[in-house]
Structure 1
Amino acid sequence: MFSRIIRVPLLKQFGSRSLFIQTLTTPNENALRFVPNGATILPSQKTPTVEINNIKEAIHKSELAMKLLSLNDKAISSILFGYDFITVVKYSEDNEVKNKADSVKPQSWSVLKPQIFALLTEHLTMGGSVLSPEYFQHLQKIDNEEIVMNENNENDDEFDKDLTPEEEVVLLIKELLTTRIQPAIQEDGGDIKFIKFDHEQGIVYLKLIGACKSCSSSEITLKSGIEDMLKYYIDEVKSVQQVLDGDANDIDNVNEDVIIEEKKSFIKHTVDELPPSL
């Protein structure tokens, strides 16, 4: 899986150490995962990954993403920033590029990878931030608020009593995604986002991002891995469905999710047997 390392002198945040950039392949042939040693990109390991799909999004979030998305006539489809990795997804011949005056010409990794290496190396060694200071502080603030909220909930004996059965199921789903599923998916350069839970039909709606979004095996991962694991632990879950970009289901969850986030807390769920593996 390990394919290449670049070593260059480091400046500013890397001090006197050398910068090693690992390039890791992913199950998606159109995605590569870059891991710069000694660099952390997000405020904490609990910070949700950040996906940037276009230059408009990148302007306020990441100068580095804006540079990457501009490479080689915009041959890059999306960027995913994890705690200590960067996933770059390129367009393939199967990608349909809509709402663009000129279609994107797909490029091979033999062309794009050296360009990405050069860009990452220059940006990081010159002390450039991965995320804009304002957006980084925004993520940091969310992390701190969540820590305080969880601490308050742990000390509140009435908290669990205030949860409806539906809210408790949603919290269990989120805990399972965070502790058992996301770490494995992030190792492959992707991530998964909870969108909503249909209580009446028992359907969990999830969104795959990063390397997982356009991966040919994503449906297998959803059905044979994630769905089996959620059903194993949570009786109320009957099936899992993927939400695609622009899907109405991505918006339907807003009101429900706000209520859940106000009561956000991890519910400890102990089991004696191992779940199905991803």
Structure 2
Amino acid sequence: MKITVKLTNKESIIKFEADQFLVPNGNFEFNNIDEAKPSPLAQELFYLPFVKKVYIASNFIAIERYDIVEWKDVQNEVAEQIEAFINSGKTIITAENIVTKTAVTVYAESTPNPSVLKFAANKKIVIQSIEFNSIDDTKFAPLALALFQFPFVKSVFFDDNFVSITKYDIAEWDDITLELREFIKHFLETGKTVVEDAVYQNEVNTQIKIDKEDAINSALDTTSKRIISILEEYIKPAVASDGGNIEFQSYNPITKRVSVILQGACSGCPSSTFTLKNGIETMLKEMLNDDVLTVEALNG
């Protein structure tokens, strides 16, 4: 078998094309040596200090490099190494050990809170909203646990098809957005569990959560039920688009005070909290025809 070097439109990536088929079915991507366990060839390539990513297709191997070298200085040696490996008869892929990937798109969106960025996927990732403010809460949430390994991650919020991440001020979004997006994309593509059922069934998340169905079936007064209905229909969709969430906590019929919990991008930013509080208060006053009503917005 002969290997030919082929340039690509990205300087950091080069293709090593074979004159016959390498693997019978599928395309395989490996981001580090641990992921490459099903491929002895990919593992061998990761021992080269400049190899960042290995992609094996039916008739070629693509390698993405780190910037410590230029391809022109090493490409011929790599081609010879690949050619020697294949011609020795060694196994390229042990297909039964491959984790099947599902195509996932993840894109980053800004939010009204400058400390929070929303990462939206083209698939549903959780069945209900849930927030993690500490790594101690993530026992049954593998993705949240993984994200807290980044030193700049302060809190993580999941809802429907997105993740909202709150960062510490030590990092700038321009420096970490791509890294986080690629990390989340890879996590979802490999089919790993985002949140285990135990989080929902055992209420591991200690935040007060009263969804619409629970409220309707509970002994809440009529006004409380009406407030929940307004929040669900008019407020939640708007704040979700900005990477946040709002939950009803309580209504005091004597003081006419409504307490709500803000999560994700809605939480922690004084200006956005003030704006959202006033917007909710104005809407509830109008829809409930009660000018005395006030809203208390609590950070989750």
What is the TM-score normalised by the length of structure 1? 0.63
User: What does residue 82 of structure 1 align with?
Assistant: 159
User: What does residue 49 of structure 2 align with?
Assistant: none
Residue in structure 1 matching 2:109, options 1, 24, 30: 24
- Find the residue that maps to 1:204 and give its secondary structure: strand
Higher deviation after alignment, 109-118 or 83-92: 109-118
Query: What's the C-alpha RMSD, in Å, of the aligned pairs?
Result: 3.0
CA distance in 2, matches of 1:241, 1:211: 17
| Identity %, equivalent residues | 25
CA distance in 2, matches of 1:232, 1:14: 49
- Find the residue that maps to 2:184 and give its secondary structure: helix
User: What does residue 34 of structure 1 align with?
Assistant: 119
Q: Which letter does structure 1 place at the counterpart of 2:130?
A: V
User: What does residue 137 of structure 2 align with?
Assistant: 57
Tell me if structure 1 keeps the 8 A contact 2:155–2:165. Answer: yes
Give the greater-gyration-radius structure (CA): 2
Tell me if structure 1 keeps the 8 A contact 2:263–2:299. Answer: no
- Find the residue that maps to 2:145 and give its secondary structure: helix
Q: How does 1:1-278 map to 2 (within 5 A)?
A: 15=102, 18-37=103-122, 39-43=123-127, 47=128, 49-60=129-140, 62-71=141-150, 73=151, 75-92=152-169, 106-135=170-199, 167-215=221-269, 216-223=271-278, 225-236=279-290, 238-244=293-299
How many equivalent pairs are there?
197
Indicate how the Cα distance of structure 1 residues 27 and 137 shifts in structure 2: closer, same or farther if over 3 A, else same: same
CA distance in 2, matches of 1:210, 1:9: 35
What is the TM-score normalised by the length of structure 2? 0.59
Shift of 1:115: 2.4
| 1:19-39 residue CA offsets vs partner (Å, 9 max, x unmatched) | 2111111111111111111x2
CA distance in 1, matches of 2:131, 2:160: 12
CA distance in 1, matches of 2:215, 2:229: 16
- Find the residue that maps to 1:201 and give its secondary structure: coil
Indicate how the Cα distance of structure 1 residues 219 and 76 shifts in structure 2: closer, same or farther if over 3 A, else same: same
Indicate how the Cα distance of structure 1 residues 78 and 202 shifts in structure 2: closer, same or farther if over 3 A, else same: same
Q: Which letter does structure 2 place at the counterpart of 1:217?
A: S
CA distance in 1, matches of 2:201, 2:132: 17
Tell me if structure 2 keeps the 8 A contact 1:227–1:239. Answer: yes
Tell me if structure 2 keeps the 8 A contact 1:42–1:136. Answer: no
Shift of 1:120: 1.0
Shift of 1:147: 6.5
Q: Which runs of 5+ in 1 are unaligned?
A: 1-7, 93-105, 140-144, 154-158, 246-278
CA distance in 1, matches of 2:105, 2:165: 17
Q: Which runs of 5+ in 2 are unaligned?
A: 1-26, 30-97, 204-210
Shift of 1:133: 3.9
Indicate how the Cα distance of structure 1 residues 9 and 227 shifts in structure 2: closer, same or farther if over 3 A, else same: farther
Tell me if structure 1 keeps the 8 A contact 2:156–2:166. Answer: yes
Tell me if structure 2 keeps the 8 A contact 1:12–1:125. Answer: no
Shift of 1:119: 1.8
Indicate how the Cα distance of structure 1 residues 170 and 146 shifts in structure 2: closer, same or farther if over 3 A, else same: closer
Higher relative contact order (CA 8 A, sep 6+): 1
Shift of 1:137: 5.7
| 1:221-244 residue CA offsets vs partner (Å, 9 max, x unmatched) | 211x11010111113561111224
Tell me if structure 2 keeps the 8 A contact 1:206–1:243. Answer: yes
**Between Structure 1 and Structure 2, which shows a larger proportion of helix residues?**
1
